[in-house]
């Protein structure tokens, strides 16, 4: 029986100035100090705040993650940020393939694959996001959409490459809408994702990968979600912006 440590991650999206991010990160590190021996906690501020936040969290187990990266090491790519740059800003993790990036910034399964590769090469934990839209769910395409996202996103990796991988299931219809997938809907998909991982990479890796749920996670629904088999954590958007609220989610037990 593999023991998957829960991971609660806050995706701050395009919110908070540098000072606001630093203040929130410090508050979070204090508020969650009593549970970090049992739960991994991560915050993902905007690029501009990463180095400052990492600096303030140097002595805290709260992890800092980027929200995106570019796969090239360096070069004439105006506006892009490499994996090594994230590492140099103190990041340990990076969110890849978030549905907002797929929807607004032309992220594809192919670019997601390159980004995961770059993250792994730099020693970053990739938090690989997958999920179906509302119309895909209504058309009963949830599983086929996830099949494709997982297969293409993780194409050409070996089980060894993916030892640190975290998967985040974020149904697009539940993001920022207040509509949470029911715990049973989420469990069903998480179990399916683990089967997909097992099929491609074997039982050992599949059993060790953490699969987070994301989409309107709040203090009042997190415990039920976290009680479900195969749900190993949460990727939290709106409710991670307020330190007290985020801390309540981290204290889900």
Mode of pairing for the β-strands spanning 63-66 and 93-96: parallel
- Asked if 226 interacts with ligand 13P (CB under 6 A), we say no
Q: For ligand 13P, which stretch binds (CB under 6 A), given 113-121, 142-150, 156-164, 231-239?
A: 231-239
- Asked if 235 interacts with ligand 13P (CB under 6 A), we say yes
Q: What is the largest CA-CA distance in the chain?
A: 48
Among 176, 195, 202, 220, binds ligand 13P (CB under 6 A): 176
- 244 catalytically annotated: no
Q: Given the residues 107, 136, 170, 190, select the one marked as catalytic.
A: 170
Give the CA distances from residue 207 to residues 3, 130, 149, 189, 212, in Å, rounded to whole numbers and listed in that order: 9, 18, 19, 15, 14
Residues 35-94 that bind ligand 13P (CB under 6 A): none
Joined tokens for residue 199: 């099929």
Among 238, 243, 246, 247, binds ligand 13P (CB under 6 A): 238
Joined tokens for residue 191: 């179990």
- 98 catalytically annotated: yes
Among 6, 153, 171, 214, binds ligand 13P (CB under 6 A): 214
- Asked if 215 interacts with ligand 13P (CB under 6 A), we say yes
Long-range contacts of 99-104 (CB under 8 A, 24+ apart): 99/129, 99/131, 99/170, 99/172, 99/175, 100/13, 100/175, 101/68, 103/172
DSSP state of 70: B
Site of interaction with ligand 13P (CB under 6 A): 11, 98, 170, 175-176, 214-217, 235-239
Catalytic residues: 98, 170
């Amino acid at each position: 029986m593999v023991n998957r440590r829960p991971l609660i991650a806050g995706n701050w999206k395009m919110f908070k100035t540098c000072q606001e991010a630093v203040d929130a990160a410090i508050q979070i590190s204090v508020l969650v100090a009593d549970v970090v021996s049992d739960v991994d906690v991560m915050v993902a501020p905007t690029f501009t705040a990463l180095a400052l936040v990492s600096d303030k969290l140097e002595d805290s187990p709260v992890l800092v993650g980027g929200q995106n990266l570019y796969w090239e090491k360096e070069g004439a790519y105006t506006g892009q940020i490499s994996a090594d740059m994230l590492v140099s800003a103190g990041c340990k993790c990076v969110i890849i393939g978030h549905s907002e990036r797929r929807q607004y910034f032309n992220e594809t399964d192919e670019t997601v694959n390159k980004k995961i590769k770059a993250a792994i090469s730099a020693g970053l934990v990739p938090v690989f996001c997958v999920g179906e839209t509302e119309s895909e769910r209504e058309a009963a395409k949830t599983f086929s959409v996830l099949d494709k996202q997982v297969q293409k996103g993780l194409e050409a990796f070996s089980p060894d490459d993916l030892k640190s991988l975290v998967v985040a299931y974020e149904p697009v219809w539940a993001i920022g809408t207040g509509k949470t997938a029911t715990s049973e809907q989420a469990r069903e998909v998480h179990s399916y994702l683990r089967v997909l991982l097992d099929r491609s990479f074997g039982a050992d890796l599949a059993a060790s990968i953490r699969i987070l749920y994301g989409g309107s996670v709040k203090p009042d629904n997190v415990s039920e979600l976290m009680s479900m088999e195969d749900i190993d954590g949460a990727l939290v958007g709106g409710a991670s912006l307020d330190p007290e609220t985020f801390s309540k989610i981290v204290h889900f037990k």
